C-alpha cells in the first residue's frame, strides 16, 4: 500500500505522505491506525472490484447507453458518487452546483445530474444482488448451525 511518486513516499491506506526515514516508515506501518486503515482499504478495493465487474457487465450488455464510452474508473467514480448522494439523502441535482469541485477532487469527470440518474437502477440492482447473497449466506450458516446442534 506504499507508493513512491516524485521522490515522495505515500501510504494509500492512510492517505498520508510519509517521511523517507526508515524508522518512521516502520513505525507508521506497525501502527494500529495503519492496520485499521489497511483493512478498510482492502474492503473498499474488493467492493470496488465487484462494482466494476457489475458496471462492465451492464455496459457490455447495453453498449449504446449514455456514458458507455468513458473509462471503467470514471464509470465507477460516477456510480460511487450517485450511490453516496442517494445513501445520504442528497438530491442528485446538487451535483450540478458542485460538479467542478467534485471533478477536481476526484480527478474524474462527471456528467449532469440528469445523466447520472441512469446509475440509480444499477445501484438498486447491485444492492438487491448483495442482499440476496447475504440472505443466502445467512441461510447456509443457519442450516449448518442447526445441523451442528442436532448432531450433539
Using alpha carbons, list the distances in angstroms from residue 1 to 8, 24, 64, 84, 113: 14, 16, 37, 25, 34
Q: What is the pTM of this model?
A: 0.60
The per-residue pLDDT of the chain, averaged, comes to: 82
pLDDT digits (tens, 9 = 90+) for 37-81: 888 877 777 677 788 888 888 888 888 888 788 888 889 888 888
**Band (132; pLDDT cuts 50, 70, 90):** low
- CA pair distance 26, 63, nearest whole angstrom: 48
Amino acid at each position: 500500500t506504499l507508493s513512491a511518486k516524485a521522490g515522495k513516499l505515500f501510504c494509500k491506506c492512510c492517505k498520508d505522505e510519509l517521511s523517507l526515514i526508515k524508522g518512521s516508515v516502520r513505525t507508521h506501518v506497525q501502527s494500529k491506525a495503519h492496520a485499521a486503515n489497511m483493512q478498510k482499504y482492502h474492503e473498499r478495493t474488493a467492493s470496488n472490484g465487484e462494482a466494476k465487474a457489475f458496471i462492465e457487465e451492464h455496459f457490455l450488455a447495453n453498449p449504446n447507453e449514455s456514458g458507455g464510452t468513458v473509462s471503467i474508473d470514471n464509470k465507477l467514480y460516477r456510480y460511487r458518487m450517485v450511490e453516496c448522494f442517494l445513501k445520504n439523502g442528497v438530491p442528485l441535482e446538487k451535483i450540478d452546483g458542485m460538479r467542478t469541485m467534485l471533478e477536481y477532487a476526484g480527478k474524474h469527470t462527471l456528467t449532469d445530474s440528469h445523466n447520472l440518474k441512469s446509475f440509480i437502477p444499477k445501484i438498486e440492482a447491485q444492492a438487491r444482488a448483495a442482499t440476496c447473497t447475504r440472505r443466502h449466506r445467512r441461510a447456509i450458516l443457519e442450516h449448518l448451525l442447526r445441523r451442528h446442534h442436532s448432531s450433539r
